[in-house]
Chain A
Amino acid sequence: MLTIDNLHARVEGKDILKGLSLSVGAGEVHAIMGPNGSGKSTLGHILAGRPGYEVTAGSVAYAGEDLLAMDTEERARAGVFLAFQYPVEIPGVSNMEFLKASVDAVREHRGEEPLDAVTFMKKAREACKVASLDQAFLKRGVNEGFSGGEKKRNELLQMLLLEPRLGILDETDSGLDIDALQVVAEGVNSLRGAERSFILVTHYQRLLNYIQPDKVHVLAGGRIVRSGDASLALHLEDKGYAWLEDEVA
């Protein structure tokens, strides 16, 4: 599904990723953990094609294609979805208009007809239930005045409607109370399937109590320094990240 090879990336003149390699198979859930500043969020932004994030070396293959050669919207249409750590507010454009534009764009790419308004509304309402987001949020401006938790649930809502092949959750768990965390986890679990993969970028092990990862990686100093199964996350929870400093050095 996704093969990252020796990825180097720079942000504002500063090298952040320094040789990151990672392979995620179809249907797998990978957790990427690591201390602040290790490059976790940068990885998500690079995969989504955010401006200002410059790849200086390495490659990313997604479903056999060169992901880095694709425009941001092409990646999204091909099934890559990044749940933002800090979702953007777009006042004046309703959530509904935004969601319909997104879903239509992705469906069109797949050669599917756009959904009629009634069918779409029905799907959106169902997704609202799963995301535990009141339907009133569909009429409000995109993320406008949403609380931190509501923004995260709105990201989940989008993911539920777009049904990506690769979902990347960038610290979606941070700032969530336990109820909201469970909502997000249930949403992700409901989407899990043989053809759909996830990368969970997180600082804490907590999320992994609810979403069982196939693999856990530790990112430090811009590289993956340790990989293992779910027990690695528990180890990190127990020992913290301090022990990594020796490994990076």
Chain B
Amino acid sequence: MGAALAVETLKLRKATAARVAAVAVVVVAPAMSAGFLAAARSDIDGPLAAKIAPMLQGTGWTGLMGFVGQILSIGMLLAVGVVVSWSFGREFTDGTFGSLFALPTPRRDVATAKIVVLVHWGLDVAMAAVVLTLVLGMATGLGLPDTAAWSGAGKALVIAVLSVLLTIPLAWFASVFRGYLPAIAALLGTIMVTQVVTIAGAGAWFPYSAPGMWSGMGGLELAETVTPVQLLLAVPVAVVGAAATVWWWDRAEVV
């Protein structure tokens, strides 16, 4: 497993897709959140403040961390989802899957290493985005982080982690359909289904809806109805997705 982890870490560290996705989340999410909040504060009665108002859960640190939590709920799903799809699917589109046969490193270890490295990378990206949000909050005049800031940061981090876990089944899609585009299509389809399920009122029991609802995307009242059990459904989704992917890699043939 050590060799597979080392190789997959190197591949992800050097990958343009992972770099672009990381920058998109780490820079864009905090910058948008701090920027919108600062704009809303400086333009209290203006049109921009009126547009942003429905997305804000409060003022100061509460508003900033709530806003970044909402962006991370969808941003992490998209960014990490694309990288998970690429990491698994590229072995088929690049034709390297066959090179992973007849090795002392079993393919199940390669698949497991990919998942471990991707989840670790996702957590690093989430942590960096939250830390940068705290820094930008201080830079835009919110002062030192208070209890509300730390509480909001923790919630944003949990939302981001849940979103990372929810991307793991895409590894199975990319493997079974032997390419990253089918997995990216599945990702986009999941986001559309999430919208429909949420509108239909069954949102929080759909694992892909729960983090976004809890972040306040549907309003504060709806966010308060989301239970820990509903949020933690992301864990079995990730476990089943990972197990199915590793099982498939262990038995797949070259076509």
A and B together in one complex: no
